[in-house]
Every structure is written in C-alpha cells, then in structure tokens.
Structure 1
Amino acid sequence: MKVEVTFGAQEKLVTGQLVIYEEELMVIEFPDGVSVRAGEYAECSLQGRSVPGRVICAHPHRVHLFVPHANAGLHEYRRKLRRIGTQLRGFIMIGEDMHAVLISDISEAGVGFIAESPISADKDAIPLVFHTDFFSIVLRIRMLHAAQSPEGYRYGARIELSSREQSARLRSYLLMTQLLSEG
C-alpha cells in the first residue's frame, strides 16, 4: 500500500510502500532511498488519513516508525494485537502459592503460557510477573482456557487493566521485540 511521509522539518513529501503495520510499529520502504535519523517526527498520509509517528530506526531504504495506538485510527490496516512469541520465565501467584510458568506468546490483550503442573484459579484476576532484559512486568490476568500438552499444561489468559506504568512497560517490550525481530 502506498504511503506519503513528511519527516521532521523537511517540506519534501516522500512516497514509500507500507510493508508492515502491526501493533505500534509501521515499516515503510522507500525504493529511491530517504535520509532520516532516529528520533525525527514523521507525518504519514495513508488513504487520506494523517498519522503522526516517530522514527525509531532508519536505513537508507527502510524506516521503522513508532505510531501510538491513540494517534493511529487506522485499525483496518493493521493486524489487531498480534501475539509475539517469547520464551520468558515468570510466575503466577494464587493466594500463597507461586507457580513457575514459561510465557510462550503475549500481546497487549492476552498471554499464553505453560506450567509444569495444573493451576487452578477461580474467575478472579491473578498476578503474572515476568522479567525482560530491561525491566520486570507485573500484569493482572484472567485465565480463559487450559489444555494438557506434551510440554505440560498450556494456558491462555486475558490481560486485565494494569497500571499505566506496567501497561507502558508491556508496550515497550512488545515494540522492542518486534523491532529487533525485524532486523
């Protein structure tokens, strides 16, 4: 899909091809090249809509933009809340019991994880704690389904409202993971 972009204080409009638009990451390729730096603001015009963003990684022919959900308004052009595959270790607290888990995938809306033994949680939200390379994240989850698998017990859970700080940490982790996997 064609996208027009104005970077920083430049008045020149550059046309590129939208390659990826998932979560808060937009990747645009520019066949003729473009000279921008990380940190510059960008204003994209996509299907008649203006979308503000910020350059987080720039190559001569490919630019990665951070486009906050609140600014985007283009939900039909991106996959909704794609789960990111991970291998993060964490734990769940149910009352006085702590259960070690391996988080297999995560998005802003939900999480999949594996536990060695069955976890019984009633319908209340429970804390899930895990560590990334940069910080710890504490989320409140509501378990939706469970199934036994060769690896142990596989669970799916919805992430309930967390504090702003924890939500921001999760968004940062998801964006960095996505960006690093793009190369």
Structure 2
Amino acid sequence: MGITLAKGQKVDLTKSNPGLKNIIVGLGWDTNKYDGGQSFDLDTAAFLTDGAGKVTSDADFIFYNNLRHPSGSVTHLGDNTTGAGDGDDEQMKVQLDTVPANIEKIAFTVTIHEAMQRNQNFGQVSNAYIRVLDETAGTELIRYDLGEDFSIETAIVVGELYRHNGEWKFNAIGSGYQGGLGALCNNFGINIG
C-alpha cells in the first residue's frame, strides 16, 4: 500500500525505494453529470523545468502533441479523449536515472481541452488523482487525491517530482489556474503565441 498525501505534503521517492529507476505517473478523474451538451476531454502534460521552475526549451513540454522528451526520460503514453472507464485515464512513464542533470523538477498537470468554448471547468470534475507506481513491481508508491473543490479553474498543477540532495521527491501541489493550457505554458516559460 502506497503513501496517501494531502495537498502540500512532500514525500521521499527514491531514498525510501532504493534502486527505483522506472516509474509510471498515472492521473485519473471522473466528470460530473451536467447538461452542457459537450463531452469532456481532459489532458495531462509534464513540464521539465530548471531550478527556477522554467523549461529550458519547448522540448521540455511533454503533452499529446509531443509524447517523448528528447532524452527519453519522460514519455506520455497517449491521449484519452473521453476519460471513460476505471483506473488511470492517462499515464506518463519516467526513467529517473535518464532525466538530464539540468532538470530539477517535473510538474504534472491536467487541463480541460477547449474549456472556454465548452463552458467547462474543474468544478464539473470529481475524483481527480495522481499516483506514482513502481513500473517494475507494478505497486503504487504514492497517491494524492484532489479533494479540493475547484470551481472556475481550467488547469491544475497536480504534483511534481523534484530533486533534493541527489534523491527524487514528490510534492502534492493541487494548484488551480484560470486560462487553461495557455496559462500553464506561460507559468512554465513556454510562449505558445
């Protein structure tokens, strides 16, 4: 059984799991019933950043149109456009020992595709979570359930992996943004024009 975190909690990942190299970061959610007439398409992304929390190039932004970091250290395992079914809706594979030395944080985010046009926000999403699995053993190491009631936000930084004294740790962030993917990109130093 893995560790369940609350917002703002930080936990060691590699120190308490010696030899851990390959992990799967799974994100999942359910959409509430409503009469908007539009389906929901939530998208996960990862931003690989330096110590200042900014990407060093656009290649450090991993999402449905850029599924793999040039280093091979982070791979998006595919876009789920419906969120139907149980379990993780989208996953990313991270090879911790191949993350470039200049990358100090990997932030995992969820956005609502075309949220403004569809009049959607995270107030219409429930049971959102992020979890970290040991890929080799298939065991869940960390889980963070977003119990927060987001109302107008269209993007969330769910959690991040970060380096500390040569080890990887996980931070349960749960920070919401208005402005969807564009707001997130600006936050992490990507100009989407």
- TM interval, shorter chain, is under 0.3
User: TM-score w.r.t. structure 2 length?
Assistant: 0.23
Higher relative contact order (CA 8 A, sep 6+): 2
- CA radius of gyration, larger in: 1
